[in-house]
Amino acid sequence: MAMILNQTHPLLSITFSSTTDFTELAGYCERFAETLLESSDPRLRHALCERLSDCLALLYPTLDDPIPSHVMDRLTVDELPLTSPRFEPDSDLLCEYCQVLVQLLTERAVSPQREKILTGLLFDLTSYFAEELKAPRWIRTADGVKFIAEVEVARER
């Protein structure tokens, strides 16, 4: 007997289209990915992947479009933000990302086009990983050796 999937998660009922504002699409992508990360239900995970894929497919062709004026207003601030978005996974996680990508590429589990994209991602992640591992961590100061991050924070004050 076939099982009917009852998709009751609220994210699965969100509607979006090619006319949806790119900032809303980006927010939906983030919510789909976050819920995907937290979910252990294989059917919900599959549905979330489909929704994320659809949302990304709508978002991608708009990335080079001019930003509409009503959105420019929302993206304009009067003071510098205290933080900026950053991608800073720890070394263990970066290594795991690289291992999984290598495994996918080794198993040839993806189409040639996706293999090319994953190879680029693997290069970017591996380069970032290597730079992080080889980056200086300490600095000699008049007060002795200190963590670079500690000195940078002190300078910002």
Local structure of 145: helix, strand or coil = strand
pLDDT at site 7: 56
The answer to whether the beta carbons of residues 147 and 138 sit under 8 Å apart is: yes
Q: How confident is the model at residue 50 (pLDDT cuts 50, 70, 90)?
A: very high
Report strand pairing: 138-141 vs 144-147: antiparallel
Q: What is the pLDDT of residues 74-126, one digit of tens each?
A: 888 888 778 778 888 888 999 999 999 999 999 988 898 989 999 999 999 98
Structural domain boundaries in the chain: 10-76, 89-157
Tokens of 24: 């809303």
Q: What angle do CA 85, 86, 89 make, to 5 degrees?
A: 140
Q: How far apart are CA 106 and CA 120, in angstroms?
A: 15
pTM of the model as a whole: 0.71
**Tokens 């300490």 belong to which residue?**
138
pLDDT at site 138: 81
Tokens of 129: 């990983």
